[in-house]
């Protein structure tokens, strides 16, 4: 250890580790990246973070500022994004567009890497930028790892998909995507794929394929999951069953919150209200940071929660990007709703400290879109999920959650632009069903124990993090 701190090893000089993180956009993508940054920084590793300006959402600006305030040792490296002519794309999601803008600005990283003091010894990039970052890292001879922000099941789809499309080319219907049977994992029905993927000309699909191919040249892949919750895709990836020679997969989850401020849900009124509720009685409803429900669907959710008979806490978003969200709750929910549910139901448009909230003993279930950060936070807290997928990877995550025994999936409920409404009655019935599902509650309790075991000393995620850090330090 003494030798390491002087930067000298037998056989010559070496550089102390200095890791450059390249996050992308969307809180769901930033969350695992920030958690790993916090983990490395608090273990004394020198970290720089590329901070792309401007951010997409106000929540992201706050999120970056919070990280740098909490971890003053972490270096912030600003990068000003080149403007993207959005007219080139028709009706694309603001986050996909941002990823594309980032991908087109990625050459700006070269001087950031070469000018950094001390020398950058490793890069960790978000999955969305993989195919652009790895060539630069290779050219500059810097090891490059990818951080995959969602489920290992999704990672297995990402690994398999480029080859799947190649196979289609030789078949009877080239380019017509069907069900995708991931070797060693499960068959993902076409209807559960991230919707963009069925169209090979979509921007997201092109990025997804390029990244899926290039990731094979990475030095390793970090995933926020743990072995016991998704054994099948991990065995398949590590055994080379999906892609021969796939890089090492480091499962390091559930990642701990990076917030240094201890405590509960964070809002005094909310704390007080939760404190008054019975154990495991509260239905928590939230769909992540980028899923906005339509107004008519919002009214059905409202009716369903009112009818379900349980106290509820509902985080409501009416737009994908929070800066555009100026709707008044009372107006959205209609006359009298908030008064009617007063005391029993809380509806908020604000940020809640979800990870802490889920650990509150009053929380009994979580109606979630199936974002993987949310799914892991729920399983670590032993809270059963009712997954109502909204877009993107959510249905694949729902399948992973069901096979892990951490949640139920409202399989026939509409998603991503479908215009069928899920009625308030259906919602109330399903909530009651999940609340009464003792079998599910028991398997979630097992998952909670497994999650704790994975990150405890000697557990799978603990050891992977340890090995990864040893690798960063040049010891493996
Ligand atoms: N989150 C939070 N408070 C909020 C909204 C979101 O703490 O008001 C956190 C949540 O705990 C999770 C992340 O933001 O860690 C959302 O990630 P997820 O993968 O679940 O969904 P996404 O936002 O990517 O759709
Ligand atoms: N993803 C991927 N390769 C890419 C881009 C994204 O594997 O090139 C993954 C990423 O982990 C993401 C998922 O695909 O979470 C679905 O992306 P989407 O934007 O639809 O959902 P979100 O990021 O909000 O979860």
Q: What is the pLDDT of residues 173-186, one digit of tens each?
A: 988 999 999 999 99
Out of 10-19, 29-38, 282-291, pick the least confident. Answer: 10-19
Confidence (pLDDT) at 36: 97
pLDDT digits (tens, 9 = 90+) for 228-267: 999 999 999 999 999 999 999 999 999 988 876 655 566 7
Confidence (pLDDT) at 74: 97
- Asked whether the beta carbons of 329 and 450 are under 8 A apart, the reply is no
Out of 52-56, 221-225, 324-328, pick the least confident. Answer: 324-328
State yes or no: pLDDT of 5 exceeds 50: no
Confidence (pLDDT) at 91: 67
- Higher per-residue confidence, 285 vs 173: 285
Confidence (pLDDT) at 14: 62
Query: Ligand 1: which atom is nearest the Cα of residue 375?
Result: 20
Ligand approaching nearest to the C-alpha of 62: 1
Per DSSP, which regions of 56-149 are E strands?
Answer: 75-80, 122-126, 144-148
pLDDT digits (tens, 9 = 90+) for 130-164: 999 999 999 999 999 999 999 999 999 999 999 99
Among the listed residues 101, 138, 113, 274, the one whose alpha carbon sits nearest the alpha carbon of residue 216: 138
State yes or no: pLDDT of 205 exceeds 90: yes
Q: How confident is the model at residue 315 (pLDDT cuts 50, 70, 90)?
A: very high
Nearest CA, atom 7, ligand 2: 158
Alpha-helix runs per DSSP H in 252-393? 268-275, 295-308, 329-333, 337-341, 354-358, 372-381
145 assigned to active site:
no
State yes or no: pLDDT of 2 exceeds 70: no
Q: How confident is the model at residue 20 (pLDDT cuts 50, 70, 90)?
A: very high
ipTM field: 0.81
Sequence-separated (6 or more) residues with CB below 8 Å from residue 330: 337, 338
141 assigned to active site:
no
Q: How confident is the model at residue 11 (pLDDT cuts 50, 70, 90)?
A: very low
- Higher per-residue confidence, 90 vs 448: 448
Ligand approaching nearest to the C-alpha of 196: 2
Whole-angstrom distance, CA of residue 312 vs CA of residue 366:
10
Instruction: Single out the catalytic residue among 18, 46, 93, 126.
Output: 126
User: What whole-number percentage of the chain has pLDDT above 90?
Assistant: 78
Confidence (pLDDT) at 10: 46
Token look-up 């308030």 returns: 424
> What are the structure tokens assigned to 30, written together?
């930033």
User: Best substitution site from 106, 150, 182 to test ligand 2's pocket, by max atoms within 8 Å of Cβ?
Assistant: 150
Number of other residues whose CB lies within 10 A of the CB of residue 246: 20
Confidence (pLDDT) at 317: 85
Mean pLDDT in residue range 343-351: 91
pLDDT digits (tens, 9 = 90+) for 389-427: 999 999 999 999 999 999 999 999 999 978 899 999 999
pLDDT digits (tens, 9 = 90+) for 429-456: 999 999 999 999 999 999 999 999 999 9
Ligand 2 binding pocket includes 127 (Cβ within 6 Å): yes
Query: Ligand 2: which atom is nearest the Cα of residue 289?
Result: 24
Ligand 1 cavity residues, CB under 6 Å = 26-28, 31, 288-291, 315, 351-355, 371-374, 377
Q: How confident is the model at residue 323 (pLDDT cuts 50, 70, 90)?
A: low
- Higher per-residue confidence, 11 vs 20: 20
Nearest CA, atom 25, ligand 1: 288
């Amino acid at each position: 250890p003494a030798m390491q701190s002087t930067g000298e090893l037998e056989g010559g000089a070496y550089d102390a580790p200095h890791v450059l993180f390249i996050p992308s956009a969307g809180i769901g993508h930033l969350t695992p990246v920030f958690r790993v940054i916090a983990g490395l920084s608090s273990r004394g590793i020198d970290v720089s973070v590329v901070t792309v300006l401007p951010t997409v959402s106000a929540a992201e600006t706050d999120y970056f500022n919070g990280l740098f305030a909490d971890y003053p040792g972490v270096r912030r490296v600003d990068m000003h994004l080149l403007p993207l002519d959005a007219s080139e794309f028709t009706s694309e999601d603001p986050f996909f567009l941002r990823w594309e803008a980032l991908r087109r600005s990625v050459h700006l990283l070269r001087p950031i890497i070469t000018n950094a003091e001390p020398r950058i010894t490793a890069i960790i990039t978000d999955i969305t930028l993989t195919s652009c970052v790895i060539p630069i890292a290779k050219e500059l001879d810097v090891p490059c790892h990818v951080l995959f922000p969602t489920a290992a099941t999704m990672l297995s789809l990402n690994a398999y998909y480029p080859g799947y499309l190649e196979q289609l080319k030789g078949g009877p219907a080239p380019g017509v995507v069907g069900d995708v049977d991931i070797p060693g994992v499960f068959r993902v029905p076409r209807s559960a794929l991230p919707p963009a993927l069925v169209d090979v000309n979509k921007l997201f699909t092109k990025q997804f394929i390029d990244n899926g191919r290039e990731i094979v040249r990475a030095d390793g892949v970090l995933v926020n999951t743990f072995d016991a919750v998704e054994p099948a895709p991990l065995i398949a990836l590590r055994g080379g069953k999906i892609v021969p020679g796939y890089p090492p997969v480091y499962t390091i989850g559930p990642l701990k919150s990076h917030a240094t401020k201890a405590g509960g849900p964070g809002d005094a009124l909310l704390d007080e209200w939760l404190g008054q509720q019975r154990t495991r009685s509260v239905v928590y409803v939230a769909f992540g940071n980028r899923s906005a429900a339509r107004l008519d669907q919002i009214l059905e959710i409202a009716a369903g929660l009112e009818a379900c008979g349980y106290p509820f806490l509902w985080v409501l978003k009416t737009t994908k990007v929070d800066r555009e969200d100026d709707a008044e709750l009372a107006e959205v929910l209609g006359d009298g709703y908030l008064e009617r549910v007063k005391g029993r139901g809380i509806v908020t448009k604000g940020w809640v400290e979800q990870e802490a909230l889920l650990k509150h003993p009053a929380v009994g279930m979580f109606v979630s879109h199936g974002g993987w950060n949310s799914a892991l936070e729920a399983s670590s807290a032993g809270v059963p999920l009712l997954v109502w997928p909204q877009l993107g990877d959510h249905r694949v995550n729902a399948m992973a959650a069901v096979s892990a025994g951490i949640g139920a999936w409202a399989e026939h409920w509409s998603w991503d632009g479908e215009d069928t409404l899920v009625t308030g009655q259906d919602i109330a019935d399903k909530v009651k069903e999940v609340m009464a599902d003792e079998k599910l509650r028991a398997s979630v309790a097992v998952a909670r124990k497994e999650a704790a075991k994975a990150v405890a000393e000697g557990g799978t995620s603990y050891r992977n993090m340890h090995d990864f850090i040893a690798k960063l330090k040049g010891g493996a």
